[in-house]
């Protein structure tokens, strides 16, 4: 098959890009041809299709009034993306288009040429933007499902998008327009890394297309095994932003005088978290490592006793958990979103109530107090679970079966 993968970023930025590039490698290794469509960026990896990439859009930078109006129009409908995508489709004629992150910068304008040519489309749901204008189901007051019924006024009233009334209004208009245009009906299959996302999206009834559960996978060649940790330090890896619950983790650490923590990641909350660690008097037990990748990240994973994921929003199928389990590291995870699907109580780690520092402290103390044999059993359970659930080959078989099914449906629907 010839598969066209679409993602707004063509460089390694987060979990969706981890999936995007790993999937490309997996498909190519199986003999399929892989094409790309993304947004121009100086950080983009080399790509033969780069001449078709849409112009870079940065909604966070400073802009003149004219630039703001143009950006607002592009957020709702990017005609340049539509035209460049149409040219790419005409030149390459892929068998299927697989969307990842596309809203705001690329937009669903690219569905029009797919419809004209009868090319099927599948869409991996890395976030909740199809049903929540803020894409996270978070308001300034915490987890929020007020917009899931298809009415987006709460997003505007609560200024859910970056605390801005204007940006929240624009996001709400975008969400409404996609419903009115029937854009979500033009996608043949929705793929959810977590069963939690599948259930939530099915409940929202924003499309009549099938919504399927397809777990993330570990890149081909990942070695699943565990070794003794170098010390008893815990590891957090991920973005440093409010919804990730790192402030709760620091407050929990203050209740556990024997615990040490390494934080691998960066983000808008870093300075605030460093100040909180000082306020709590735990700076000597907390190490901020910054953003890590590659071998350095692997060393941090292998060296820790366990990984902590204290999220306070609807996580999907986070790669940080997959990577931890593949290294035989138990995970302390909050009981929210798709996390309980990965963190099996007493088998691959321990769960606690999100946002509850006392409950998290209890999970930390429980882990640190485990006898050596029980800790080893937990590590072995993590590796076994990773091997069973995150197989690249299983993912490939399931995904290509979905591809073949929707291609056959399109072929059958064509007039003879």
pTM recorded for the entire structure: 0.93
> Which domains, ranges and CATH numbers included, belong to the chain?
2-217+392-413 (3.40.50.2000), 234-389 (3.40.50.2000)
Residues whose CB falls within 8 Å of the CB of residue 164, separated by 6 or more in sequence, listed in order = none
93 by Cβ neighbours in 10 Å (0-12 / 13-18 / 19+) ranks as exposed
Give the pLDDT confidence score for residue 61 in this predicted structure. Answer: 57
Q: Do 127 and 201 form a contact (C-beta atoms < 8 A)?
A: no
- How far is Cα 350 from Cα 375, in angstroms, rounded to an integer? 12
Nearest CA to 262 out of 299, 228, 225 is that of 299
- How far is Cα 168 from Cα 161, in angstroms, rounded to an integer? 5
- How far is Cα 170 from Cα 147, in angstroms, rounded to an integer? 15
Give the pLDDT confidence score for residue 415 in this predicted structure. Answer: 75
Give the pLDDT confidence score for residue 228 in this predicted structure. Answer: 87
Q: Do 282 and 253 form a contact (C-beta atoms < 8 A)?
A: yes
Residues whose CB falls within 8 Å of the CB of residue 392, separated by 6 or more in sequence, listed in order = 22, 26, 217, 218, 219, 220, 222
Q: Do 403 and 189 form a contact (C-beta atoms < 8 A)?
A: no
- How far is Cα 301 from Cα 237, in angstroms, rounded to an integer? 9
- How far is Cα 361 from Cα 367, in angstroms, rounded to an integer? 10
211 three-class SS: strand
Nearest CA to 395 out of 8, 14, 29 is that of 29
Q: Please give the chain's pLDDT, 416 residues, in tens.
A: 999 999 999 998 888 999 999 999 999 999 999 999 999 999 999 999 999 999 987 656 565 555 566 666 677 889 999 999 999 999 999 999 999 999 989 999 999 999 999 999 999 999 999 999 999 999 999 999 999 999 999 999 999 999 999 999 999 999 999 999 999 999 999 999 999 999 999 999 999 999 999 999 998 888 889 888 988 999 999 999 999 999 999 999 999 999 999 999 999 999 999 999 999 999 999 999 999 888 899 999 999 999 999 999 999 989 999 999 999 999 999 999 999 999 999 999 999 999 999 999 999 999 999 999 999 999 999 999 999 999 999 999 999 999 999 999 998 887 76
Question: For residues 68-92, b (16+ Cβ closer than 10 Å) or e, as one string?
Answer: eeebbebbebbeebbbbbbebbeee
């Amino acid at each position: 098959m010839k598969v066209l993968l679409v993602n707004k970023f063509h460089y390694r930025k987060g979990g969706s890009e981890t999936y995007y590039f790993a999937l490309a490698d997996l498909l190519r290794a199986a003999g399929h041809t892989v094409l790309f469509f993304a947004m121009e960026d100086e950080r983009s990896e080399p790509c033969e299709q780069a001449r078709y990439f849409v112009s870079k859009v940065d909604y966070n930078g400073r802009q003149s009034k004219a630039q703001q109006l143009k950006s607002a129009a592009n957020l709702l409908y990017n005609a340049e993306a539509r035209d460049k995508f149409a040219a790419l489709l005409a030149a390459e004629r892929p068998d299927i288009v697989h969307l990842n992150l596309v809203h705001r910068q690329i937009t669903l304008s690219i569905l029009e040429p797919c419809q004209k040519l009868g090319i099927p489309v599948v869409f991996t749901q890395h976030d909740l933007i199809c049903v929540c204008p803020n894409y996270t189901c978070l308001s300034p007051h915490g987890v929020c499902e007020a917009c899931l019924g298809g009415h987006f006024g709460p997003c505007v009233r609560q200024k859910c998008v970056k605390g801005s009334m204007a940006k929240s209004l624009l996001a709400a208009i975008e969400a409404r327009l996609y419903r009115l245009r029937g854009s979500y009906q033009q996608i043949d299959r929705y793929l959810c890394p977590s069963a939690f996302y599948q259930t939530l999206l099915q409940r929202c009834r924003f499309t009549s297309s099938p919504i399927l559960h397809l777990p993330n996978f570990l890149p081909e060649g990942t070695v699943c095994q565990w070794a003794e940790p170098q010390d008893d330090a815990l590891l957090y890896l991920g973005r440093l932003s409010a919804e990730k619950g790192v402030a709760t983790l620091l407050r929990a650490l203050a209740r556990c005088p024997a615990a040490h923590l390494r934080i691998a990641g960066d983000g808008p909350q870093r300075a605030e978290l460093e100040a909180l660690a000082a306020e709590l008097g735990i700076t000597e037990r907390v190490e901020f490592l910054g953003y890590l990748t590659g071998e350095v990240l692997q060393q941090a994973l292998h060296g820790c006793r366990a990984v902590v994921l204290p999220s306070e929003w609807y996580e999907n199928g986070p790669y940080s958990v997959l990577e931890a389990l593949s290294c035989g590291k138990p995970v302390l995870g909050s009981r929210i979103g798709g996390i309980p699907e990965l963190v099996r109580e007493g088998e691959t780690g321990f769960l606690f109530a999100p946002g509850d520092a006392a409950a998290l402290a209890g999970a930390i103390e429980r882990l640190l107090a485990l006898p050596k044999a029980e800790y080893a059993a937990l590590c072995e359970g993590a590796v076994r679970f990773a091997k069973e659930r995150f197989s690249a080959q299983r993912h490939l078989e399931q995904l290509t079966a979905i591809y073949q099914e929707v291609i056959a449906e399109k072929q059958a629907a064509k007039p003879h």
